[in-house]
Amino acid sequence: MHTKYVYFFGGGHADGHGKMKEELGGKGAGLAEMTNAQLPVPPGFTISTRACVAYFQQGGKLPPEVDPRTAEALARLEELQGQKLGDPEDPLLVSVRSGAKFSMPGMMDTILNLGLNDRSAEALARKSGNPRWAYDSYRRFIQMFGNVVLEIPKEEFEHIFDGQKKKAKAKLDTELSSENLKNVVAEYKKLVRKKTGQPFPQEARGQLKMARDAVFRSWNNKRATTYRRLNNIPDDLGTAVNVQAMVFGNLGETSGTGVGFTRNPSTGDNEFYGEFLMNAQGEDVVSGVRTPVPIRELEAIMPEVYRQLREITTRLEQHYKDVQDFEFTIQEGKLYMLQTRNGKRTGKAAVKIAVDMVSEGLLTKREALLRVEPGQLDQLLHPLLAEDAKGVLAAAGNERLKHVATGLPASPGAAVGRVVFTADETVEQGAKYPVILVRAETVPDDIHGMEVAKGILTSRGGMTSHAAVVTRGMGKCCVAGAGAINVNAEKKQAAVGSLVIQEGDWISLDGSTGRVFLGQAKTMEPDPASGDFATFMGWADEVRKLGVRANADIPRDAQAARRFGAEGIGLCRTEHMFFAADRLPHMQTMILADNEKDRRKALNKLLPMQRKDFEGLFKAMDGYPVIIRTLDPPLHEFLPKREDLMVEVALMKARKAPKKKIEEKEKLLQRVEDLHEFNPMLGLRGCRLGIVYPEITEMQARAIIQAAVNVAKKGVKVIPEIMIPLVGTRRELTLQKDICDKVAEEVFAKAGTRVKYMVGTMIEIPRAALTADEVAKDAEFFSFGTNDLTQTTYGFSRDDSGKFLKPYVDLKILKNDPFAVLDETGVGQLVDMATKKGRQSRPELEVGICGEHGGEPNSVMFCHRVGLDYVSCSPYRVPIARLAAAQAVLLEGSKEEAMRTA
Amino acid sequence: MHTKYVYFFGGGHADGHGKMKEELGGKGAGLAEMTNAQLPVPPGFTISTRACVAYFQQGGKLPPEVDPRTAEALARLEELQGQKLGDPEDPLLVSVRSGAKFSMPGMMDTILNLGLNDRSAEALARKSGNPRWAYDSYRRFIQMFGNVVLEIPKEEFEHIFDGQKKKAKAKLDTELSSENLKNVVAEYKKLVRKKTGQPFPQEARGQLKMARDAVFRSWNNKRATTYRRLNNIPDDLGTAVNVQAMVFGNLGETSGTGVGFTRNPSTGDNEFYGEFLMNAQGEDVVSGVRTPVPIRELEAIMPEVYRQLREITTRLEQHYKDVQDFEFTIQEGKLYMLQTRNGKRTGKAAVKIAVDMVSEGLLTKREALLRVEPGQLDQLLHPLLAEDAKGVLAAAGNERLKHVATGLPASPGAAVGRVVFTADETVEQGAKYPVILVRAETVPDDIHGMEVAKGILTSRGGMTSHAAVVTRGMGKCCVAGAGAINVNAEKKQAAVGSLVIQEGDWISLDGSTGRVFLGQAKTMEPDPASGDFATFMGWADEVRKLGVRANADIPRDAQAARRFGAEGIGLCRTEHMFFAADRLPHMQTMILADNEKDRRKALNKLLPMQRKDFEGLFKAMDGYPVIIRTLDPPLHEFLPKREDLMVEVALMKARKAPKKKIEEKEKLLQRVEDLHEFNPMLGLRGCRLGIVYPEITEMQARAIIQAAVNVAKKGVKVIPEIMIPLVGTRRELTLQKDICDKVAEEVFAKAGTRVKYMVGTMIEIPRAALTADEVAKDAEFFSFGTNDLTQTTYGFSRDDSGKFLKPYVDLKILKNDPFAVLDETGVGQLVDMATKKGRQSRPELEVGICGEHGGEPNSVMFCHRVGLDYVSCSPYRVPIARLAAAQAVLLEGSKEEAMRTA
């Protein structure tokens, strides 16, 4: 059997079809699909990827059949269109486009208006009565052909064009006359001759061959090979070439062009949506030079075309079972569909459309679940900056909004308030009006201010910086690491270049994009528990296998988590409780004690407070598990900063303060010095604290078990799980578990009752993952702390990596910020290994993840694939995780999954 | 076939032999071996480990054959000794000892003098004419039996004994009379009755059975099971029980006891060496109450016994092919050998003995290589604190030495000098007399002082702290992390408790033990390149397969490395060059520059200096490879400290300094703030620097390649290897390698000549190890940076882990400091994985290690086992690595190796 190299499409029938992406590329397959669906697509033909592969195998020569087959297809096209390529009087014009199996945006070369030459351009001008259009088309063709085929730098053409504009004193391209454009053409041709030593090719069939070969060659240009390497696309696939008849919407008053959606992409309402312009080209609609007209008005102008367009787009929506974003052109009264694709939409629209399409019988529930990007749900759960009809942000006052900086979208939502620079000011001024806390970076000391602020803005730190993590937990808007802003808390001002933001100035944050505005924006509250949303999430829960828990430290967060559908708490960070005003002094006393007895005394003060917190969590999670992590952060986080104390001491001495006061401060400094660490992330923290000071673990275990017993007595079903952090060797866990078990027995004996509890560990140190078979002998559950595991696996401090993560993503060293999207290759390898090894030793081991990745859709899908039992994330991300978990099931074994994991 | 449970030894023949450790345990096998070698060993029998295993399997009951077989063996023993166990007039006394296949020191229970009771003690007193001895023997027996068998706490016996001493106003045990001891016995017996409700058992055979069962049970006591778990000794081996006739050296003037060595363990000289006492027990020789007599004098007192002892010990040395450390007892003119084992010796002696034994034909060279612990070689390469004949340290002046603290033995050797507290003082005062630099911790800024100081003492930091690493590289003595010392550099004093050390005081450091002495000790220079040493190292080089390179930063170190036998440089840390006084200013200018142009200007100043350094290294390593690492540390290490600047600025403001000066200082502070990192170890360092500032890598690559070309032109064989640090993903290396290759081509083109060079990477980030197959596609060599790899795999900062490493080792969480001895289970797993994955992609990949572990014997053996090509370590550790590498070959597949890896 002969290899088929050329596939025709047109006249209601295509040689290929939509599934032939391998041979026809994505674009070619789509054109065939639309043609077969009887859509009025400009006809043409696709030269197969096989020709491209052969071209490279044979060192730049095509198989002999390609030329005759191409000539045949071209003849069919000419017949169908009633025009001939290269005809001096009525030329057929075609576009030549690449199109590979996998979309490779940015490397695609396109040549439009092929077939024009000096004579046919002149004929076109005459025939159309529109010489400006004819010469503009010709000069565009020379420019694209010159660049793509003849490899003349774009800039050289632009230089000529700009020169002509200057001469004509034209600001816009459209202000150039046909004479101006003729001059451009003349100079372009001179340029071509100068660069290639040859005149610009006038013979149309020759143009076509040259364009085809150039497109084939572009498969191996540097951009394309790099893109393929980064995206793991095989090098031997090759690209197809699509040759298609050109259509024009600017041939007079019966021509036109437009874009539209089959449903409203902003609200999801089932209404025909879009806009158009008569006697215009596609770029006129989007450039804003002329104001486009709402698409419904087309009905009055060309009722038959409008009816046909509605009918076609409805059919398209039903064919693709999704909202269609389409482009059309009307050439002299005849409608052509140029493109259709699934339409982008807001989160709100996505959910509404998915639910509607199920009621309409268009989609099954399972299909509907795949129509919403999990990350989009975020928009339904947080307030948003309000936009006017044109998508321009609306100001609340008279003052205009000024976009001053962009940071990381650290915690979604919108926040509007007056600027404050310290946590104390936040509390004070926050009582009077909405405030935004602006800091270089936040520290645990700032918690009281962060609780009050409407939003947080920091100039340093990444997606998992303190500010980001804490605000996401609170469901509060945060823009982090906005490096352009220079915060000077002492002077109570922040500078962005020459602009100075003072305390009290209004600013507005968009936590979903990271944008920072000077001025007071209008916000809108979304409808978080709308009927559609609840219906949709219910379907997700029916499908998913992965459990979804929430990270919550206090009862209020736990209640929010339940509302968002969390099935338990995957991580309660007990240390967050110690920063409260009534607790911090005891915590500090404990840390400053230099013997066990004094430490125990302070811990005894903390015990009832912790117990009460835990009781609240257990009540909120009646029937669901609650994982409580023992103390994790380095102790100096609870004390004043070393450098601040050093300055204070120096100043006290300089000012000759009373000797006793100096000594007191020096003593505190000495203790802070003792606790000072060069790399606190790798220092005395996590279970190392509980091992060096076993009495801390003892107190916490006692508070947990006592709380569990107390609440259980009231008829609540408690499922406590005690989690030991930062374990690197099994014996660390053994020693800490021994303490928990001993304390539990004491509490049970005293209470005269028992509750079931588990002791497990976080896997957040590479060594724990490497030796997970050993660790699992003592651990009843594993929870991957992928924040820390990412830090140690990469050797990246999440607080410091901001400086190089951006260049790293720009240089394509990293695909994503690994603190935002789990690195499946490296960190994921450890997760997979530890899960397997752990279950080897203990088949019933419960395995979950409680790092920030637990709420990131791709990471959730990875967790499903490696067989975790649950993910845990901020309460506000729980719906996202639920949907991602459902999609993971639906995509299992599919091509989409193969692509994701490639 | 019946299982044999009881093995007799005595009368010149044993049922078992030395290879039966499985059944007889180590001790039992040794006794059988000595008996078969016709040595006069007190006879006895061993009850097999199989009896112990059966005892536990049957829930505390022995197989029925054990009792009759034991009775038979006991009868043979009684016959041989002419005494009967439990005989009221002339009782046979026996010892009962445990002894498992693997030595388990500290869990062993021993019962001596078993067979005594009220009547036989009395008879013994009468018969020996030595009632004191008889009752002392009896009370010791009751105490041991009471504790081991009857489980009465030791303290209760000691309480009674101390009470009796107080009553008798005796300071030493020996001052108690036989009457006093009789009272002790009486009270001991009362205690037993009170605790057990039974009188102390008087029936000797019953005593024996009870003792035997108690020893069996001790196999499963908590100490023993913990020890086995930690040492990976299987729980089902069981212990044997050894029952052996007692002998006594204190029965009169024809009795005696002594210890000795077959050669001088201090010098290695082939001379009979030891001491003895007549009419004494073993403990009298070591307790110092009586002064023992040199062993040669025994010849005059008992010529026949002396002749026999010499003959036996010579035979033992030849049998075991090693120096023997033996114990003997003469009971009434008859010589008994109680123990013999391979003797401990100094490094110097070890080498001399090994070489001598080869000349004597006693050992092959390969055997001799296994007779020296690699770590001992250290003693041959550094000065030592001089000891007098009694092992007491000798003072240089009149003042006595006072041992004031013990830190970590961070860098071996001895150092004596006057205390200084800053690097500048070190340089100033070091010009006048020897000085020791005492710091809380050293920083790169201190280098100029460290170069001058005789030794370094720090109160913080571990075995791989800055002070430790740098001094080991310099071969200079260092005691690090002596936490008892409080350094106050400002006041120029250091406190140890109430003792205050002032600037100018003499102190002495023992870098091999970590001891710190106040006062001026005498030192002695060893003979580093003695003939024996050279001969011995030559044999090691013949055997080993692993290459040994050195870590050396400057030509002087490189020359030292060659003298110690290094075959190349495995790591040159280029940043150490930047701290020199002529370079630091340019480095700082480079860092403070805020644009590429200014950075390049400063780098251009550094280029010729780096080139010169590299030329020196290449010359020193003519024909050997030189691995040069590009810039690694975070940039703020080159700038003043942030907190110091903060204090300065605050003080300048308080003192109203000129505004311009304040602003200048604030600008510097701002830049330091910009560079400030929470966890610099995980921040902008390593190749991240070279990626963010490619011009740095460019300059360094240029300096390396230019140096190589220049030196090669002079006929030196250069083998440059450029090493990119801290790679975590392949593309980091790709980008850095591209720079190196581009620069190299430029240099070659200009020079008109080429040199071969390689580009490779350190593997020091877990992710690099996990993805080593990918990384190896661009890396021509791997070098494991096991310091950093240990930090990230464990999540331990080497600068901060001092606080918990000690408790971790005490609590047996860690076997060793993982920065000193490579963690084979975790870090080693990554090393092994990366080596395999790397060679999968690139079979010819050169793989080595350049972390501090490269000079630690166990780690070197691990490197051999996983198939590395070479290790690299401090120059002074090169001989250690050479020997360890040879031993790794010799031990391949042996039991010793199995034990190490277990």
Residue from the list A679, A794, A813 with its beta carbon closest to the beta carbon of B731: A813
Angle between helices A154-167 and A178-196 (to 10 degrees): 150
Q: CA dist A560 to A879, B32, B477, Å?
A: 12, 75, 61
Given CB atoms, is A291 within the 8 Å cutoff of chain B?
no
Given CB atoms, is B795 within the 8 Å cutoff of chain A?
yes
pLDDT at B230 over 80: no
Count the Cβ atoms, other than its own, within 10 Å of residue B895.
Answer: 9
Q: What residues of chain B lie within 8 A of the CB of A728, using their CB?
A: 793-796, 826
DSSP-assigned beta bridge partners for residue A85? A92
For residue A325, name the pLDDT band (cuts at 50, 70, 90): confident
Nearest to A635 by CA among B788, B804, B675: B804
pTM of the model: 0.78
Mean pLDDT in chain B? Answer: 90
Q: What is the pLDDT of residues A2-48, one digit of tens each?
A: 789 999 999 999 999 988 999 999 889 989 999 998 889 999 999 99
CB B439 within 8 A of CB B478: no
Residue from the list B682, B688, B764 with its beta carbon closest to the beta carbon of A679: B682
CB contact under 8 A, A765 and B795: yes
For residue B898, name the pLDDT band (cuts at 50, 70, 90): low
pLDDT at A105 over 70: no
For residue B842, name the pLDDT band (cuts at 50, 70, 90): very high
Instruction: Among A283-292, A773-782, B58-67, B552-561, name the most confident range.
Output: A773-782
Give the separation between CA B35 and CA B40, rounded to whole angstroms.
7
pLDDT at A637 over 60: yes
Q: What is the pLDDT of residues B201-228, one digit of tens each?
A: 999 999 999 999 999 998 988 778 877 7
Q: Minimal Cα–Cα distance from A902 to chain B, Å?
A: 15
| A235 vs A738: which has the higher pLDDT | A738
CB contact under 8 A, B679 and A797: yes
Residue from the list A680, A767, A804 with its beta carbon closest to the beta carbon of B688: A804
CB A477 within 8 A of CB A452: no
Nearest to B785 by CA among B675, B646, B687: B687
Q: What residues of chain A lie within 8 A of the CB of B811, using their CB?
A: 691, 731, 735
ipTM for this prediction = 0.77
Q: What is the largest CA-CA distance in chain A?
A: 103
First CA to last CA distance, chain A: 33
Q: CA dist B34 to A643, B40, B47, B475, Å?
A: 68, 8, 17, 45
Strand ordering across the sheet containing A94-100: A13-14, A6-10, A44-47, A239-245, A94-100, A110-114
Residues 753-792 of B with CB under 8 A from A: 764-767, 770-771, 788, 791-792
Q: What residues of chain B lie within 8 A of the CB of A461, using their CB?
A: none
CB contact under 8 A, A683 and B797: yes
Where does B321-411 have alpha helices with state H? 347-359, 365-369
CB contact under 8 A, B684 and A800: yes
What is the structure's pLDDT at A898?
53
CB contact under 8 A, A797 and B646: no
Residue of A642, A775, A793 for testing the chain B interface, max B β-carbons within 10 Å: A793
Handedness of CA B391, B393, B398, B400 (dihedral sign): negative
Q: What is the pLDDT of residues A287-317, one digit of tens each?
A: 555 678 889 999 999 999 999 999 999 999 9
CB A697 within 8 A of CB A690: yes
pLDDT at A160 over 80: yes
What is the structure's pLDDT at B849?
98
Count the Cβ atoms, other than its own, within 10 Å of residue A353.
Answer: 29
Give the separation between CA B57 and CA B51, rounded to whole angstroms.
10
pLDDT at B318 over 80: yes
Give phi and psi for B784, each to the nearest 5. Answer: -75, 120
Q: What is the pLDDT of residues B618-650, one digit of tens each?
A: 999 999 999 999 999 999 889 999 999 999 999
Question: Which element (helix H / strand E) includes B558?
Answer: helix B555-563
Nearest to B880 by CA among B351, B373, B526: B373
CB contact under 8 A, B799 and A679: yes
The DSSP result for A564-577, as a single string, is TT--SEEEEETHHH
As annotated, the active-site residues of B are 466, 850
Looking only at the bridges linking them, the beta strands covering A781-784 and A758-763 are parallel
CB B688 within 8 A of CB B632: no
Any residues with CB less than 8 A from the CB of A594 and at least 6 apart, and which? Answer: none
For residue B901, name the pLDDT band (cuts at 50, 70, 90): very low
Helix (H, G, I), strand (E, B) or coil at B502: strand
Distance of CA B583 to the CA centre of its chain: 39
As annotated, the active-site residues of A are 466, 850
CB contact under 8 A, A650 and B650: yes
Give the separation between CA A870 and CA B417, rounded to whole angstroms.
63
Q: Minimal Cα–Cα distance from B496 to chain A, Å?
A: 16
Give the separation between CA B687 and CA B316, rounded to whole angstroms.
59
| A892 vs A283: which has the higher pLDDT | A892
What is the structure's pLDDT at A446?
84
| A802 vs A206: which has the higher pLDDT | A206
Give the separation between CA A436 and CA B631, rounded to whole angstroms.
41
CB contact under 8 A, B683 and A766: no
What chain B residue is nearest to A648 in terms of C-alpha separation?
Answer: B647
What chain B residue is nearest to A829 in terms of C-alpha separation?
Answer: B770
Give the separation between CA A759 and CA A780, rounded to whole angstroms.
6
What chain A residue is nearest to B460 in terms of C-alpha separation?
Answer: A674
For residue A141, name the pLDDT band (cuts at 50, 70, 90): very high
pLDDT at B389 over 70: no
Give the separation between CA A324 and CA A329, rounded to whole angstroms.
16
Given CB atoms, is B677 within the 8 Å cutoff of chain A?
yes
pLDDT at A901 over 50: no
- Share above pLDDT 90 across residues of chain A, in percent, rounded to a whole number: 67
Q: What residues of chain B lie within 8 A of the CB of A646, using their CB?
A: 643, 646-647
Q: Minimal Cα–Cα distance from A4 to chain B, Å?
A: 38
CB contact under 8 A, A680 and B804: no
Give the separation between CA B140 and CA B281, rounded to whole angstroms.
14
Mean pLDDT in chain A? Answer: 90
CB A726 within 8 A of CB B795: yes
Looking only at the bridges linking them, the beta strands covering B6-10 and B44-47 are antiparallel
Q: CA dist A510 to A456, A457, A476, B158, B447, Å?
A: 11, 10, 11, 76, 50
Q: Minimal Cα–Cα distance from B165 to chain A, Å?
A: 36
What is the structure's pLDDT at B529?
60
Ramachandran class of A400: left when φ > 0, alpha when ψ lies in -120 to 50, beta otherwise:
beta
What is the structure's pLDDT at B59?
87
CB A243 within 8 A of CB A95: yes
pLDDT at A902 over 60: no
Q: What is the pLDDT of residues B664-694, one digit of tens each?
A: 999 999 889 888 999 999 999 999 999 999 9
Helix (H, G, I), strand (E, B) or coil at A307: helix
For residue B231, name the pLDDT band (cuts at 50, 70, 90): low
CB A285 within 8 A of CB A257: yes
Helix (H, G, I), strand (E, B) or coil at B44: strand
pLDDT at A445 over 90: no
What is the structure's pLDDT at B527?
56
